């Protein structure tokens, strides 16, 4: 059975850090762009960051630039979102997703992504 599994969420104080992981099982990361998305209560889901199939291209929304980094290990079928200097407005359910895109690009738009994980909760609060 193919699935994505996010992990690493939790409660952290403002200014703290978390590293989210997204592990795929039942399929390979080869040829897939990976996106990280989040959805806060009462808000629409938004793209946070993405990474191309071999990691040569990354994109971030403006609000996380300089604070978040994205990476992937194709040998482990895993992507990571390192989140530093977290703020209360980073509080959300975070999801990873896969987009078949073997062209060294990636998108922060939701609709190219066809395979989604169940999400992991991040709460930034003192």
What pLDDT is attached to residue 116? 94
For residue 82, CA distances in Å to 19, 64, 69, 114, 124 come to 4, 11, 5, 23, 14
Mean pLDDT of 99-125: 94
Specify whether the CB–CB gap between 122 and 94 falls below 8 A. yes
User: How confident is the model over 5-28, as pLDDT tens digits?
Assistant: 999 999 999 999 999 999 998 888
Tokens of 126: 């003192």
Q: What is the dihedral of CA 61, 110, 105, 100, to 10 degrees?
A: 150
Asked if pLDDT for residue 42 goes beyond 90, the answer is yes
What pLDDT is attached to residue 26? 87
User: How confident is the model over 49-107, as pLDDT tens digits?
Assistant: 999 999 999 999 999 999 999 999 999 999 999 999 999 999 999 999 999 998 999 99
What's the half-sphere exposure (Cβ side, CA atoms, 13 Å) at 22? 31
């Amino acid at each position: 059975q193919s699935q994505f599994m996010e992990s690493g969420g939790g409660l952290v104080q403002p200014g703290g850090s978390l590293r989210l992981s997204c592990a795929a099982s039942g399929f390979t990361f080869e040829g897939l762009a990976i996106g990280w998305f989040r959805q806060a209560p009462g808000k629409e889901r938004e793209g946070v960051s993405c990474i191309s199939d071999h990691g040569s291209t990354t994109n971030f929304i403006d609000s996380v630039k300089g604070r978040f980094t994205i990476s992937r290990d194709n040998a482990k079928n895993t992507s990571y979102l390192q989140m530093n200097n977290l703020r209360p407005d980073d509080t959300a359910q975070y999801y990873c997703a896969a987009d078949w895109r073997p062209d060294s690009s990636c998108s922060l738009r939701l609709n190219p992504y066809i395979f989604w994980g169940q999400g992991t909760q991040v709460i930034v609060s003192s």
